[in-house]
Chain A
Amino acid sequence: GAVVSQHPSRVICKSGTSVKIECRSLDFQATTMFWYRQFPKQSLMLMATSNEGSKATYEQGVEKDKFLINHASLTLSTLTVTSAHPEDSSFYICRAVSMGRDTDTQYFGPGTRLTVL
């Protein structure tokens, strides 16, 4: 079964509104969660890295005030797209990594398709 969930799986919103996407690790503690966006027929682009209890680290070119990331617990990270615009329409994927360095314990969420009208 799924070990990382994302909610919602699809969301359509009006331009100017904010949208929150949740990423949950279901049966392990994720000290680190990564957020990616993916445009059609392209690879995953890392947006930011979040560690539980600390501020997220954003990749170059990603607006931290637009893409708010919170990692309040070891099983939940949220990405909030603030004042969404049509160009923010994309597929957003989270990846959760457990404590330690065992790269077996890392899973991708199923993704969230955001459409901004």
Chain B
Amino acid sequence: AQTVTQSQPEMSVQEAETVTLSCTYDTSESNYYLFWYKQPPSRQMILVIRQEAYKQQNATENRFSVNFQKAAKSFSLKISDSQLGDTAMYFCAFIIMNRDDKIIFGKGTRLHILP
């Protein structure tokens, strides 16, 4: 079965600090996409970053970067210079390529950025 585990239900950090959200997943497939989604209080799902499993280079998007360890099936999200607007629920997820487009979500990590 495909699963995603986010071991940190809730985290708090001071504004401007760096925070890392952990995610591990389990799949027997070799071709998949990994995602981090942000869900702010508005509850709109916002794509933060994505990583193709066949790419070794870690994806980055401005202050957001990932540490993708395929062998360990780990996909952590680092947020640098955190801002108050980063306060949200963060979901780690993946999709198996060329399958059914179903997203497998983790349970989420609630991140609070403190002023």
List A residues at the B interface (Cβ < 8 Å): 32, 34, 38, 41-44, 46, 49, 91, 93, 95, 97, 101, 103, 106, 108, 110-111
Contacts and interface: CB of A to CB of B under 8 A. Distances in A.
Given A93-B45, A103-B33, A110-B44, A44 B102 contact: no
A95 B103 CA distance: 10
Interface residues of B, number: 19
B36 interface: no
Interface of B: 33, 42-45, 50, 91, 95, 97-98, 100-103, 105-108, 110
A63 to B, nearest CB: 19
Given A49-B102, A95-B103, A41 B97 contact: no
Most chain B CB within a 10 A radius of its CB, from A43, A49, A106, A111: A43
Chain A contact residues: helix, strand, loop or mixed? strand
Chain B contact residues: helix, strand, loop or mixed? loop
A103 B45 contact: no
Contacts, number: 41
A38 to B, nearest CB: 8
A41 B10 CA distance: 11
15 contacts: A32-B101, A42-B107, A43-B91, A43-B107, A46-B103, A49-B100, A49-B102, A93-B43, A95-B45, A103-B95, A103-B97, A106-B101, A108-B44, A108-B45, A111-B44
Contacts of B95: 103
Nearest to A41: B110
In order of increasing CB-CB distance, the 10 nearest A-B pairs are A108-B45, A43-B105, A43-B107, A110-B44, A97-B101, A111-B43, A103-B33, A43-B108, A44-B105, A32-B101
